[in-house]
Amino acid sequence: MKTITRTKIYLPMAAMILSAAIALPAAAQQQVPFKGTFHGNDTVTPPTLTQSITGTGTLVGQFSSVAFMTISTNPATGTARWIAANGDSIDTTVVGSLEHVDMAPCEVVGAQPEDTYAKITEIHTITGGTGRFAGVQGSFILTLYHDVVLRSDGTHGTCGSYSGTITPPGAAH
């Protein structure tokens, strides 16, 4: 009789544990929108381009980001770190391409009406994170407008937006 009672208890418990173990990876794979806008500057020292931007986005709120890209390759490649106001961060790999356009659809600080722009399209793939972004997965596309005219401080003004999907912060915990 004791064996039957234990089996009746162990089987439902095992089923609950197995269900939780299966449900956790499925929840971690749920994707949510990740988008925002930014402005900043690029510093070009061939073969490297350093992007420094600040902005506001979903899930991160106010953020800053620094990307280091090798521009001597086609497409350009590099890495970036996105830092939320509280210090939590998202790390990405970047693959980017560029084309020339006449105008930027966003405001570039210090730009003149006659300036022309390089439209840079970057694909960011999340490789890691810290704090609430630990274990986050996903990717997004960043569109940046780079003022071709050099500013007096030696940088190029930028503005743009990004959009994609990531797993919700904390889903891996």
108 and 84 inside one domain: yes
Residue 171 lies in a domain: no
114 and 92 inside one domain: yes
8 and 44 inside one domain: no
Tell me how long the chain is.
Answer: 173
43 and 76 inside one domain: yes
79 and 25 inside one domain: no
Provide the pLDDT for residue 172.
58
Strand partners, 146: 118, 158
Residue 173 lies in a domain: no
Provide the pLDDT for residue 73.
84
Q: 44-58: per-residue pLDDT in tens?
A: 999 999 999 999 999
CA distance 52 to 65: 6
45 and 116 inside one domain: yes
∠ at Cα 60 (58, 63), nearest 5°? Answer: 115
Domain that holds residue 157: 31-166
The overall average pLDDT reported for the chain is 86
CA distance 15 to 24: 14
145 and 70 inside one domain: yes
90 and 126 inside one domain: yes
Provide the pLDDT for residue 15.
38
2 and 59 inside one domain: no
20 and 77 inside one domain: no
25 and 82 inside one domain: no
Residue 54 lies in a domain: yes
19 and 85 inside one domain: no
For residue 122, count CB atoms less than 10 angstroms from its CB and return exposed for 0-12, middle for 13-18, buried for 19 or more.
buried
Q: What is the mean pLDDT of residues 125-146?
A: 97
Residue 172 lies in a domain: no
